[in-house]
Amino acid sequence: MDIEVTLTSKEQKRLKVLNQVQVGRISGEQAAVLLGVSLRQERRLMAKYRRRGAAGLAHGNRGRPCVRRVPKRIRDKLLALARGEFRDFNDQHFTEILAEEFAIRLSRSTVRRLRREAGLASPRKRRASRHHQKRERYPQAGMLLQVDGSHHNWLEGRGPEVVLLAAIDDATSQLVYASFREQEDAAGYFLMLHEICRTHGLPLALYADRHTIFQSPKEPSVAEQLAGKLPRSQFGRLVDPGPCAQDG
């Protein structure tokens, strides 16, 4: 009786090589090399081929139910629970409930696969989106300048590394100062403030990051804490305590 067998690409390669052995075109040793198996394994394959034909090369478990397959009664119970009182449980929580309350011990991946095959997605609690209210810009030019240093390969490797120090007016987004420096230091910001005061006038406030140029790394003393003040950096001592606003 003829048996219809579907072979994988690996099994088809074995069939072609064993056919060559069968008709005497190559030896068993050559076939073993082509198949990447030992001579003993090649002889076992050849024996199966002679005894059962191409069907002897198919994997022995092909067509049989998987021994690790979840039994139908357990699968039906799981899906009934997933569609019922536990429909709002995610895969991990549902897996734990199955083990603790129903003695159905399966891996999370198996539970997930069974639910997806049944068209059941793992519900997720939707988190409320966070709304970040933008800070209102200052109403007039000169009231607040945003200052910062930008570390970037500005010269694209054609020269030394430099830092761009820049100041932008908060109200108008106008660039009021820009200069390249070898490093981001207090001296550069001193020169920046001097030039801005000379060309645009004294700004009401500066907005900077937490760089130690603007904010001292020292811990505030008890007196400073009681007064609500922070230790001032060298740049902070240059300007009046009021005008220097910091990114909190």
Strands (E), 70-223: 144-151, 163-169, 175-181, 205-208
Q: What is the pLDDT of residue 232?
A: 60
Is it the case that residue 172 has pLDDT exceeding 80? yes
Residue of 173 and 226 predicted with greater confidence: 173
Residue 208: pLDDT band (50, 70, 90) is confident
pLDDT tens digit sequence for 68-122: 578 889 889 999 999 888 888 888 899 998 988 888 889 989 999 999 888 887 7
Tokens encoding 231:
């230790």
Is residue 245 over pLDDT 50? no
Q: At what angle do helices 39-52 and 9-22 cross, to 10 degrees?
A: 90
Residues 15-37, mean pLDDT to the nearest whole number: 86
- Interatomic CA distance for residues 216 and 150, integer angstroms: 20
* Res. 248: pLDDT tops 60: no
**pLDDT at site 166:** 92
| Burial class, 176, CB count within 10 angstroms (exposed 0-12 / middle 13-18 / buried 19+) | buried
Residue 223: pLDDT above 70? no
Entry pTM: 0.40
Dist. CA 30–CA 42, nearest whole Å: 10
DSSP one-letter code for 174 = -
Nearest to 91 by CA among 72, 73, 118: 118
Residue that wins the pLDDT comparison between 88 and 6: 88
Could you give the 3-state DSSP secondary structure of residue 97?
A: helix
| Lowest mean per-residue pLDDT among 10-14, 30-34, 104-108, 143-147 | 10-14
Sheet holding 244-246, edge to edge: 175-181, 163-169, 144-151, 205-208, 244-246
